[in-house]
Chains A and B, each alone.
Chain A
Amino acid sequence: MQIKPILAALRHHKAGTLLIAAQIALTLAIVCNALFIIHARLVRLHQPSGIDEASLLVIGNQWAGKPGSDQMASLMAADLDTLRKVPGVANVYATNTFPLGNGGMALGVSHSPDKLKSVTTSGIYFADENALATLGLKLVEGRNFRPDEIGQLDRQGYVKPDVVIITRALAALMFPQRSAIGQPIYISAKPSIVIGIVDELRTPWVDTSFAKWADYSTLIPYRELTPIVQYIVRVQPGQLDEVMHRVRAALYAANRLRVISPKDGVRSFAQVREQAYRDDRGMAILMSGISVILLLITGAGIVGLTSFWVGQRRKQIGVRRALGATRHDILSYFLTENLLIAVGGVVLGGVLAIGLNLWLMKQFELDRLAPGYLLAGVVTLLLLGQGAVLAPALRASRVPPVEATRSI
């Protein structure tokens, strides 16, 4: 190997060498953190909500004319009847929110009425006896709500359910040593008995700041009597698109005193998911764009500097060829030279990447950078360097040995 003389020669080209190494270092630091963030965002895009999204529609309904609570209860019951009769509808229930809805109610859950002693926060879903079947939730222990347990809650009312259904994760947190079924939990001053445990149901929020308790959901047996209600509709297989059109017409035919937004009043869960993660997708695209641009700039920098060096050292290359260097020797000289600079760059870049990640962790509650990303970044930069240097290095290898005898 020619490492020693290459290093010796690089000492005479400090400015260019340091510039490229610094560029590689910065690119590595930014790109591997960006890759990490992009991957985290992409993972989130596909994070399961726990419900059977492919078969579900959500209808956002707003009553017109400020109906009273009693009136809303009968209007809601009528709507649920109407929806059940729509061809292709398998089940339906009314609720305050839904997974990926990015809004709703969250309450502290504790073993006693003392709110200050809550074990965790839980996302609260209003549900009835049809909720589990509609959402496609798997009841792993206990039972479903009975129709006689479903209460009604107007704006002035307080949530104080007698019974609740909670997720397996919440049950394990609250009762790690025993079954949660039959145990009281407190989301209000009154105990609520756990009657059922469902396998998985994420809370409505997708923001990472809610991630700590994203698996801790509680279903409470209530219908909310507010002017805005969400109907969750389960459709029969393969009928999603048809049902989406039918439900709006059916509801307006039953009662015109309502608003269902023409834009997003009826949404499939694919649309709900797309809207929920729009910011994440945008961030991933932005980060990808920045990473690609940075890599291109670094690649262009390497091509530029190496081309300059090849031009500058044309005579020297000719001398080396005259002294017995093969084309391959010249090619490997420039590839090795670039590799040495790039290795220096990635070592510095690795330190910078970890530093940047620590700063991001502190500022934006980002996770610790997984070593795989650093490794991927290092490999990418080294390959980029070798790829970028290849064309000028090949040009150098074609410098003929007779160049040694030319005066300029």
Chain B
Amino acid sequence: MATEYSIRMGDGKRVYHDKKQIMDDLEAGIADAADLGEISGLSSDETERIAEIIMLEGRMVGVEEGKEVPVTHDISTLRIDGDQGNSGVGIPSSRMIGCMMHERAFGADTMELGHIDYSYKPVKPVIAQECQAMEVCQQNMIIPLLYGAMPNMGLYYTPDGPFENPGDLMKAFKIAEAQESIEKSADHLTRDMIWIMQHLMRSASDGVNFDTTGAAGDGDMYSTLHAVEALRKEFPNMYIEVGMAGECVLGMHGGLEYDGTTLAGLWPHQQAPLVSKAGANLFGPVVNTNTSKSFSWNLGRAVTFIKAAVEASDIPCHVDMGMGVGGIPMFETPPIDAVSRASKAMVEVAGVDGI
């Protein structure tokens, strides 16, 4: 009987696969990415290398010496004292303590300050408090500290915002009205994000992280790219990070363009050049995990997409690795066996610059 290896399904369930099953799933995942993204698949050597990583002994694995990459964290400011039933550990502390623990105890190379809601819109009414928190954190920290939040354009639609919900309009066949609502929301969001970051930059922020860009579709990304462009113009030395929400930009509008490129339907390797063109320093590509497929399938697929993005990008790519992305299972506390193996494959095969 062939040796079986303990791996995960995309929902975190433990299963046992032999090498043939692992290779079959890897090849199927690679083929899926290559087909959807119209990109090259991985070579047989690369596929074999990922299989080796999956089959490594030991619950946790690491990259080879000399291949270490920077690690940056996003909402982790809130991850120490936050306990939202998902990723927080609920230890009474503060945002500053969260930042400092990541800097001094957890080895983070950069950090960000974030608002409890983690969207730009709700920061606007509490901007003075956010600026004060930024100043205090900066006085106590050495590593680059960005301000981070999600563009989250859905907050500009009814019932949360002033513009009619395009989803409702679309279902009523009011397509032009839906597109107009997206355009107005995007303009409003761009203005808000610029305004918020102007204040935080004056309060010593080292830069900005646009986290989960494109979550509300192409309008969300359109808005972010325009905000990046404006901020780069105003603050030539600020550090700008753009991380994506998903692997493909959803076409909620369908016709929005940036620099002559239609945003809807872009895959990571097509997103990277636009993010760079807008003026970002760093791109965070995402590949979603399919909860019904194996870790091997998801990792093969994710590495294929990310490798293409790295090759297409002229700025560093720090791949998003966490619950439900980057080949890692969708699970409240992602299993370390899968997290460490996926991270190693991303560094050693996809060639990412950071995580």
- Decide whether A and B are members of one complex: no
Chain B residues with CB under 8 Å of chain A are none
